[in-house]
Amino acid sequence: MNDRVLVAYASKHGATAEVAEKIGQALREAGLPTDVLTVNRVGDLTPYKAVVLGSAVYIGQWRKEAVAFLKANEKALAGRPVWLFSTGPTGKGDPVELMKGWHFPKALQPIADRIQPRDIAVFHGALDQKKLSLVEKWMVKNVKAPLGDFRVWEAVNSWAAVIADTLKKGAVSKG
């Protein structure tokens, strides 16, 4: 039976993992059985009727394990309703504006075009100085990225609520 929802994610320092957990929690509270797993722990997509896939953004790219997951599962994803999200920008204001119009990794856009996700979201991220390597600290300082937790949980929850509504209405066919 494929009656479950999968929230799969790639996170280096934990901020994206918490966003994925929040989405999973909202879907469960809406009555949808949901698994939240790092992409590395996902096997077969057969048990899942829908997939939410997200990655942290590092230097404008998705994490390599998320890219590998997207590529390896393109066919299965194309046959299911899919939602994609990224977490990254720190600072206040519209996340896409903070990323100077960045919306999704350019190199992955052709795959997204074939999968036809229901939506591609960008959420604010978090930068915890204590978790960063020396090189990361240097890079973050160099681009003057604000440190701190800028995640907007209302934005994450309302995005998840739209996913839950769509799936519960049964409006899940592709195309």
Ligand X SMILES: Cc1cc2nc3c(=O)[nH]c(=O)nc-3n(C[C@H](O)[C@H](O)[C@H](O)COP(=O)(O)O)c2cc1C
Site for ligand X in 145-164 (CB under 6 A): none
- Residue 60 lies near ligand X (rule: CB under 6 A): yes
- Whole-angstrom distance, CA of residue 144 vs CA of residue 135: 14
Distance of CA 32 to the CA centre of its chain: 18
- Residue 38 lies near ligand X (rule: CB under 6 A): no
Token couple for 69? 């997951």
Residue 121's SS3 state is strand
Segment lying near ligand X (by CB under 6 A), choices 43-51, 75-83, 84-92, 156-164 = 84-92
Segment lying near ligand X (by CB under 6 A), choices 15-23, 34-42, 65-73, 74-82 = 15-23
Contact of 6 with 35, CB cutoff 8 Å: yes
Residue closer to ligand X by CB (options 32, 52) is 52
Min separation Cβ 94 and ligand X, Å: 12
Distances (CA, A) of 32 to 17, 43, 104, 112, 164: 19, 20, 27, 25, 7
Distances (CA, A) of 2 to 5, 26, 80, 117, 168: 9, 19, 11, 19, 14
- Residue 57 lies near ligand X (rule: CB under 6 A): yes
Segment lying near ligand X (by CB under 6 A), choices 6-14, 65-73, 110-118, 157-165 = 6-14
Q: What share of the chain is helix, strand, coil (3-state, %, to 5)?
A: 40, 25, 35
- Residue 81 lies near ligand X (rule: CB under 6 A): no
Considering only 8, 11, 50, 117, the residue that binds ligand X (CB under 6 A) is 11
Interacting residue ranges for ligand X, rule: CB under 6 A: 11-17, 56-60, 87-89, 99, 125-127, 132, 136, 139-140
